[in-house]
Amino acid sequence: MGDQVRGNKIVNHYGTPRRPPRVVLLTAADPLSAADLRTATDPRTAARLGLDKEHRAISRAIDAAGAGDRLTVRTSLALRYGDLRRELLRNPAVVHFSGHGTRSGAIVLAGEDGHPQSVPPRILGDLFRIANSRGTLRCVVLNACWSQAQAFEIARHVPCVVGMSGRLPDGDAIRYAEAFYETVAAGRDVACGHDMGVNALDLDGGDVRLPVLMQQRPGVAGRTLVVD
């Protein structure tokens, strides 16, 4: 017997409903490159391409771990604050942000007028508090420069959050993300994924102090699985 559809559920021949795959939400904002770029040598073009490479590396890592039936990737590019709010209300298990942060601790999204919009830590943290009222969000990764303050605020309301303590080169962002998602997609806990990401930076001479793992409660990262 093959799988059967009963109502809105897929049931296998043993009669057990198949759990829908969890969602890894990949978001990106590069508002500095959203304007009309007139030359191929504009450094802002390189920044945009770096975000594309990071998302491709994450998708490949999840596929390589054989988690395609348990994890699905959804993307939201040129992210505006309203976009983020709507995506969070769709209950992803993981939110990954690729983009820019400021020394003051804000992350930079695309404004409604197309110009950059800085979102301070308190506002972003409160958004995650409200949106995660069901407790479905397991992990947030802020792969952006100086995002540690944002991570601290979000970690009040989400089990595990990774932020960056300083300027993050594109290559290091990709190396950390690839190792992190390959590990958690293979069924290891978030703490293990973080350690594997740091290990990948160490191999290539990156700054292993940049990624900072924060937890809602002590020890929770070692018990939090993205795939279980």
Which domains, from first to last, does the chain contain?
Answer: 21-222 (3.40.50.1460)
**Distance (Å, whole) CA 51 – CA 82:** 20
User: ∠ at Cα 98 (50, 228), nearest 5°?
Assistant: 115
Q: What is the pLDDT along the chain (228 residues), one digit of tens a residue?
A: 444 545 555 445 555 566 789 999 999 998 754 443 333 333 343 345 467 899 999 999 999 999 988 999 999 999 999 999 999 999 999 999 999 999 999 999 999 887 899 999 999 999 999 999 999 999 999 999 999 999 999 999 999 999 999 999 999 999 999 999 999 999 999 999 999 999 999 999 999 999 999 999 999 999 999 998
> How many C-beta neighbours within 10 Å does residue 165 have?
16
